[in-house]
Structure 1
Amino acid sequence: MIGITGTPGTGKTTAAEILRKKGWRILNLNEYIKERGLFEEFDELRGSWIVDEERLREHFLNAENREDLIVEGHLSHFLPCEKVIVLRTHPKELERRLRKKGYDERKIKENVEAEALDVILIEALENCSEVHEIDTTSRSPEEVSELIEEIIKGRRRSPPGGIDWSEEVF
């Protein structure tokens, strides 16, 4: 099982759709969580569901047919994946994308700060044995999906540590 993760707005869903059209088995993690009720409660302040990460992980530990499955979603790095690919986007570009999607100011600020501070990358490194990162800032969705395929097939390595936007918040 491969995870494609990243802050909302980095291009996970778009890249996954391209991969699906190429014949890859894709699971949208957000839909899976909603369909199975794998959340604890709704956080009114943040306007989002709080996922029961332990139950979610158990679901996938016990699942059959995980081979050749790509799980796309900003929590996929909490699953028992062989490889996790973290999509990254420069905070200014991420802000632009989230505005275009209609996110409110509080959610934009929260996600831009999380991206600048490497939150998802750090979580992935804490939870996964093989982590890669791709800067999607100036790449087309097709380019991103091709890089993902190369990483999955073992033709390319894209180790973490080459992207640093911490100066964007200071």
Structure 2
Amino acid sequence: MINIKIAITGTPGVGKSTVSKLLVKKLNNTEKFGNFEYIDITDAVKEHKLYSEKDEKMDSYVVDFQKLGNYINEIVKSKSENLVIDGHVSHLLDVDYIVVLRCNPEIVSNRLKDRNYCKDKVKENVAAEILDVCLIGALDNSNCKYVYELDTTYKNVSSIVGEIVDAITHKKTKYGIVNWLDTYFYMLD
């Protein structure tokens, strides 16, 4: 059986973890792919010390991508599992399929404030959403030819997961569907 690694990426607050967890459940009930394991990059980086340093100001870790890549490869080798990799840097890994989740920047801002992110961290992540940072990174990943962008704004999780399963099953690519810049440029100040 061929193992597949699916990256679910997007700025914090777009719904990656919620979507990823339901996606794993849905895929595990599909005969086509076999079993999937869920990896939360943030948790893995902290738990297995897959970082080079901690950015105290932003309260985040600087990921050591070599260590993270080795960790993921060990999971694939030891368990022969398919993976759903949840994280806003997952599009930078050696994966087979990248799903870029997008969401209205005002909603992202509110979600991050509700999580008690500091003002600078909210501003940085909202700017990243407006400027397509994760999408551009995904398109720059030369190891992956399948990139699927999905606007999660006002969609329920089941329909998002259904669309992702359909995209993966049929090896669809789709991007360039979101342009927040024209409407939300004022949030970049």
> TM (normalized to structure 2)?
0.81
Which secondary structure state, in structure 1, belongs to the residue aligned with residue 71 of structure 2? helix
Distance in 2, matches of 1:107 and 1:66, equals 37
Q: Is residue 46 from structure 1 mapped to residue 58 from structure 2 by the alignment?
A: yes
Structure 1 residue 45, shift from structure 2 partner: 2.2
User: Which residue does 2:115 correspond to in 1?
Assistant: 101
Structure 1 residue 139, shift from structure 2 partner: 0.6
Match of 2:23 among 16, 19, 22: 19
Deviation >3 Å, runs of 4+: 58-63
- Does the 8 Å contact 1:124/1:131 carry over to 2? yes
- Does the 8 Å contact 2:14/2:103 carry over to 1? yes
Residue 89 of structure 1 aligns with an amino acid whose one-letter code is: C
Q: Which ranges of structure 1 fall in alignment gaps of 5 or more residues?
A: none
Structure 1 residue 84, shift from structure 2 partner: 0.3
Matches for 1:51-130 after TM superposition, within 5 Å: 51-61=63-73, 63-64=76-77, 65=79, 68-127=82-141, 128-130=144-146
Structure 1 residue 88, shift from structure 2 partner: 0.3
Structure 1 residue 144, shift from structure 2 partner: 1.3
Q: How many percent of aligned residue pairs carry the same amino acid?
A: 37
RMSD: 1.9
Q: Is residue 151 from structure 1 mapped to residue 167 from structure 2 by the alignment?
A: yes
User: Which residue does 2:31 correspond to in 1?
Assistant: none
Closer/same/farther in 2, CA of residues 100 and 66 from structure 1, 3 Å limit? farther
Distance in 2, matches of 1:60 and 1:18, equals 20
Q: Is residue 136 from structure 1 mapped to residue 152 from structure 2 by the alignment?
A: yes
Distance in 1, matches of 2:68 and 2:83, equals 16
- Does the 8 Å contact 1:88/1:135 carry over to 2? yes
Aligned residue pair count: 169
Q: Which ranges of structure 2 fall in alignment gaps of 5 or more residues?
A: 29-35
Match of 1:5 among 5, 9, 17: 9
Distance in 2, matches of 1:17 and 1:149, equals 13
Rg comparison, structure with higher value:
2
